[in-house]
């Protein structure tokens, strides 16, 4: 699942007229970087949630002309945050573990990578918007949260300055 419904407030003014997923880095929309990597990894279908400038994002996805196939989880009516978005999309995801991208920080580490869980992980969450943070804390307390340290470069593109830094780094 690709979480793409957010308002992109930290990316303003770049997101005043588009969803964060359509902000470009190295000449390509952020969501294209993600979806192309998923396709390279053999993912055939990706669920993408939409809210902010949803029509524009859906049009972009429909025009991609390459995999993976896209299934939309529509949050136009209410932005559901990470947990609510996953809960709403659960029927579209099936029973197998789902991979999705997310961000969290807890010193001395910052988590900015891929979550792997079963879609039912958030089944007991409330109806409507809620964060996955409460579920990650519960999993950590139960000794069920795992990770690895990245031995390489990570480029954060969560705000315009970071996006510009990533552009410069990718330009060489």
Q: What tens-digit pLDDT sequence spans the chain (172 residues)?
A: 899 999 999 999 999 999 999 999 889 999 998 899 889 989 999 999 999 999 999 999 999 999 999 999 999 999 999 899 999 999 998 887 777 665 554 445 555 566 777 878 888 899 999 988 888 888 889 998 777 777 777 777 888 998 899 888 888 7
User: What does the alpha-carbon distance between residue 47 and residue 100 come to, in Å, rounded to a whole number?
Assistant: 9
Q: How do the residues of the chain divide into helix, strand and coil, expressed in percent and rounded to 5?
A: 40, 20, 40
Q: What is the pLDDT of residue 107?
A: 45
| DSSP structure class, residue 128 | S
Domain extent for 70: 2-171
For the chain, the domain total comes to: 1
Q: What is the pLDDT of residue 103?
A: 56
| Token digits of residue 119 | 């879609």
Q: What is the pLDDT of residue 140?
A: 84
103: domain CATH number is 3.90.550.10
User: What does the alpha-carbon distance between residue 90 and residue 162 come to, in Å, rounded to a whole number?
Assistant: 32
According to DSSP, the β-strands at 98-106 and 45-50 are unpaired
Q: What is the pLDDT of residue 106?
A: 47
CB atoms within 10 A of CB 164: 12
According to DSSP, the β-strands at 45-50 and 69-74 are parallel
Query: Exposure of 101 by Cβ count < 10 A (0-12 exposed, 13-18 middle, 19+ buried)?
Result: middle
Query: Going by C-beta distance under 8 Å and a sequence separation of 6 or more, which residues neighbour residue 67?
Result: 35, 39, 43, 44
């Amino acid at each position: 699942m690709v979480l793409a419904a957010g308002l992109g407030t930290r990316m303003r003014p770049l997101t005043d007229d588009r969803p964060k997923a359509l902000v470009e880095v190295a000449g390509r929309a952020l969501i294209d970087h993600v979806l192309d990597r998923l396709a390279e990894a053999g993912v055939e279908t990706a669920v993408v949630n939409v809210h902010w400038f949803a029509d524009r994002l859906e049009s972009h996805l429909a025009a991609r002309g390459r995999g993976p196939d896209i299934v939309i989880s529509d949050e136009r009516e209410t932005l559901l945050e990470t947990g609510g978005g996953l809960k709403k999309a659960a029927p579209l995801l099936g029973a197998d573990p789902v991979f999705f991208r997310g961000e969290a920080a807890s010193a001395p580490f910052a988590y900015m990578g891929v979550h792997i869980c079963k879609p039912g992980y958030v089944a007991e969450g409330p109806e409507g918007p809620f964060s996955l943070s409460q579920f990650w804390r519960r999993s950590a307390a139960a000794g069920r949260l795992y990770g690895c340290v990245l031995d390489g470069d990570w480029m954060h593109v969560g705000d315009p300055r970071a996006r510009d830094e990533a552009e410069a780094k990718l330009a060489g």
